[in-house]
Amino acid sequence: MFGTRRALIPVAIALACFATAASADVLYTASMDGAQNLPEPVKTDATGAVQFAVSADGKSVAYKVTVSHLNNASAADLHLGQPSQNGPLVAKLFPNGTTAKKGEYSGVLAEGTLTGADLIGPLTGATLADLVEELKVGNVYVNVHTNDGTDPPNSGPGDYRLGEIRGQLK
């Protein structure tokens, strides 16, 4: 009786390992800097990295946005668009229950999980599978916005600043 159990333990471990590997998340990443910003590159020392892990069941995306030497972070947004174009906002990553960062900041700016309920703009009411399809074809980028408290030329109060750093998810 005990010999049979011992023989089944390696099989159970192998099956558990296979199930874990088969259910692994799909990872998309981006490096962010001012050179990728549109319509004009931004000269900045700020850089960043983004990680998006799509769950095995496709119902959620865990994300992490890390920045270095970013001044006055006010928003981090997920947009649809190719590397050569600006596109519509489809999800807010920061602030999300947190507040803007005043002064220079380095570290994790935003971390959380997105579901279909978090999608806005042209993806309002869509499923997360629609966002994942856009990720697969390289049509999603993250833009981190900053605000030094002064409205840019030709804008009104409350206008969003152009992004300072941007990165295309691949």
Q: Write the pLDDT tens digit of every residue in 96-152.
A: 766 667 788 999 999 999 999 999 999 999 999 999 999 999 999 999 988 866 655
- Do you know the residue count of the chain? 170
- The 3-class SS string of 63-95 reads EEEEEEEEECEEEEEEEECCCCCCCCEEEEEEC
15 pLDDT band (50/70/90 cuts)?
very low
For residue 11, is pLDDT > 50?
Answer: no
For residue 124, give the DSSP letter: T
Classify burial at 140, counting beta carbons within 10 Å of its beta carbon; exposed 0-12, middle 13-18, buried 19 or more: buried
pLDDT recorded at residue 98: 65
Q: Where are the alpha helices (DSSP H) in 114-155?
A: 128-136
Contacts of 27 (CB under 8 A, 6+ apart): 51, 52, 53, 54
For residue 14, is pLDDT > 50?
Answer: no
For residue 156, is pLDDT > 60?
Answer: no
Domains and CATH numbers, the chain: 24-168 (2.60.40)
Distance of CA 90 to the CA centre of its chain: 11
d(CA 32, CA 49): 6
pTM beyond 0.85: the answer is no
Question: Phi and psi for 21 in degrees, rounded to 5?
Answer: -65, -40
Least confident of 5-14, 31-40, 86-95, 138-147: 5-14
